[in-house]
């Protein structure tokens, strides 16, 4: 069988199961929370820019200043000549702000998770992970030499049994601070207790919690009053830019600098981006008013939602998933919303389980009451 035949067969199967993925081109809209698609404004209920910082003037100016001073790129891996004074300052700021000894910058949350698992999950180790952890963690775990066990989503009783059996080994428990497709949160206080009881490390991927949860937006762990042994934060959601960081102990950071291949062999993020991130994090820390508005929007949406045939999952985060069922149903629902100027993501397997296709509605501090009213009216009509 030729490669061409294999590829064409896979594409036909993807079409047949309504799993076809497409990118949508949009232009720069005049303001948030709009997208400009095919010349028409669409209210954006699909993005993760929860605080609207991607358009914040101070962040933009910081990036422009960085471009003028450092150029467009870093030019090399951080292990060669790509690590500048700006990167060092950003890592120090992150470590101090989030309460860790060290921080290491990565180009994406996907790369950070892959690097962590590949470096830590060896033959003498055990990886226990929530069944709904991000694909980056699942993929790295499947490729590792560690003993991997996925426990039922937020089933901490099942995790406790795994820890009782394997806790004596080098055990890493992995979870998300806010689950990206369900929008719910684990009991991090209980996870911390279980890990301490059995001598395991706790890894929290807080991509959707940083900037949104906790004092100064320091994330899900800060909101729960605990510290994870390893914290992953990403900057493409509430922080409004791009990239990621791993927060950890000094010895863990040194270990990753020696053995994390994604860190060693990737060109470092541009210094201008690091400078923009430094400013964005300052804005996050003082964005209490935006976080309050975001929470008010979440409450408003949930209070006024009329379910009909759509199942709203019990989320109190910006991610508000509406279960539609099969792929045909969720695609039809998304198309009906788009026809009314409302852009909502249609999420299908394998991103979510078969039969759990959903509209992944995301709310931001930039949404106004009339925006939410328009969405609710359209959803009621669809239902």
The tens digit of pLDDT for each residue in 211-228 reads 999 999 999 999 999 999
Q: Which CATH fold would you assign to the domain 57-285?
A: 3.40.640
134 is catalytic: yes
Asked if residue 208 belongs to a known ligand binding site, the reply is yes
Asked if residue 68 belongs to a known ligand binding site, the reply is no
Q: Residue 173's pLDDT band (boundaries 50, 70, 90)?
A: very high
For CATH 3.40.640.10, list the domain ranges present in the chain: 57-285
Asked if residue 109 belongs to a known ligand binding site, the reply is yes
Q: What is the pLDDT of residue 27?
A: 85
Candidate list 87, 134, 156, 367, residue with the active-site label: 134
Asked if residue 362 belongs to a known ligand binding site, the reply is no
Asked if residue 21 belongs to a known ligand binding site, the reply is yes
The string of pLDDT tens digits covering residues 265-283 is: 999 999 999 999 999 999 9
Asked if residue 367 belongs to a known ligand binding site, the reply is no
Candidate list 49, 91, 182, 205, residue with the active-site label: 205
The string of pLDDT tens digits covering residues 40-94 is: 899 999 999 999 999 999 999 999 999 999 999 999 999 999 999 999 999 999 9
Q: Which helix (H) or strand (E) holds 44?
A: strand 40-44
Closest CA to 213 of 245, 241, 174, 186: 186
Candidate list 44, 125, 180, 220, residue with the active-site label: 180
2 is catalytic: no
User: Roughly how many angstroms between the first and final C-alpha of the chain, as a whole number?
Assistant: 46
Q: What is the pLDDT of residue 3?
A: 87
Q: What is the pLDDT of residue 253?
A: 98
Q: Residue 178's pLDDT band (boundaries 50, 70, 90)?
A: very high
CATH number 3.40.50.10140 is the correct assignment for the domain at 22-51+288-382:
no
Which residues have a Cβ under 8 Å from the Cβ of 356 and sit 6 or more positions away?
A: 323, 325, 349
176 is catalytic: yes
Closest CA to 177 of 146, 138, 211, 126: 211
**DSSP codes of every residue in 327-348:** HHHHHHHHHHHHHTTEE-EEE-
126, pLDDT greater than 80: yes
Q: What is the pLDDT of residue 167?
A: 65
For CATH 3.90.1150.10, list the domain ranges present in the chain: 22-51+288-382
Do 320 and 301 meet the contact criterion of CB atoms below 8 Å apart?
A: yes
Q: What is the mean pLDDT of residues 174-184?
A: 96
279 is catalytic: no
130 is catalytic: no
Asked if residue 180 belongs to a known ligand binding site, the reply is yes
Q: What is the mean pLDDT of the chain?
A: 94
Read off the pTM. 0.94
Q: What is the pLDDT of residue 308?
A: 62
Do 243 and 90 meet the contact criterion of CB atoms below 8 Å apart?
A: no
Q: Residue 307's pLDDT band (boundaries 50, 70, 90)?
A: low
48 is catalytic: yes
205 is catalytic: yes
């Amino acid at each position: 069988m030729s490669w061409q035949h294999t590829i064409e067969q896979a594409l036909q199967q993807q079409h047949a199961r309504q799993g076809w993925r497409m990118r949508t081109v949009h232009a720069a809209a005049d303001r948030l929370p709009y997208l400009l698609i095919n010349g028409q404004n669409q209210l954006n209920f699909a993005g993760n820019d929860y605080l609207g910082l991607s358009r914040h003037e101070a962040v933009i100016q910081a990036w422009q200043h960085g471009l003028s001073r450092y150029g467009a790129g870093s030019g090399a891996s951080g292990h060669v000549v790509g690590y500048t004074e700006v990167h060092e300052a950003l890592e120090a700021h992150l470590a101090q702000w989030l309460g860790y000894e060290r921080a290491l910058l990565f180009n994406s949350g996907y790369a950070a998770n892959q690097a962590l698992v590949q470096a830590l999950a060896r033959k003498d180790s055990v990886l226990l992970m929530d069944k709904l952890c991000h694909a980056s963690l699942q993929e790295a775990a499947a490729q590792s030499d560690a003993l991997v066990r996925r426990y039922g989503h937020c089933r901490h009783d099942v995790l406790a049994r795994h820890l009782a059996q394997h806790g004596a080994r080098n055990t890493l428990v992995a979870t998300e601070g806010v689950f990206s497709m369900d929008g719910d949160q684990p009991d991090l206080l209980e996870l911390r207790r279980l890990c301490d009881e059995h001598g395991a490390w706790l890894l929290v991927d807080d991509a959707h919690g940083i900037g949104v949860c906790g004092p100064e937006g320091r994330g899900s762990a800060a909101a729960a009053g605990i510290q994870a042994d390893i914290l992953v934060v990403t900057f493409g959601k509430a922080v409004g830019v791009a990239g990621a960081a791993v927060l950890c102990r000094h010895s863990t950071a040194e270990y990753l600098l020696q053995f994390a291949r994604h860190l060693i062999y990737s060109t470092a993020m541009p210094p201008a981006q690091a400078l923009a991130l430094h400013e964005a994090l300052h804005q996050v820390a003082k964005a209490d008013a935006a976080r309050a508005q975001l929470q008010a929007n979440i409450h408003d949406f949930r209070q006024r939602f009329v379910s009909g045939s759509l199942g709203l999952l019990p989320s109190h985060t910006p991610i508000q998933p509406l279960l539609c069922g099969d792929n045909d149903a969720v695609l039809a629902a998304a198309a009906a919303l788009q026809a009314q100027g409302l852009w909502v993501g249609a999420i299908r397997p394998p991103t979510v389980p078969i039969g759990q296709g959903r509209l992944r509605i995301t709310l931001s501090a930039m949404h106004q009451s009339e925006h939410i009213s328009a969405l609710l009216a359209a959803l009621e009509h669809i239902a």
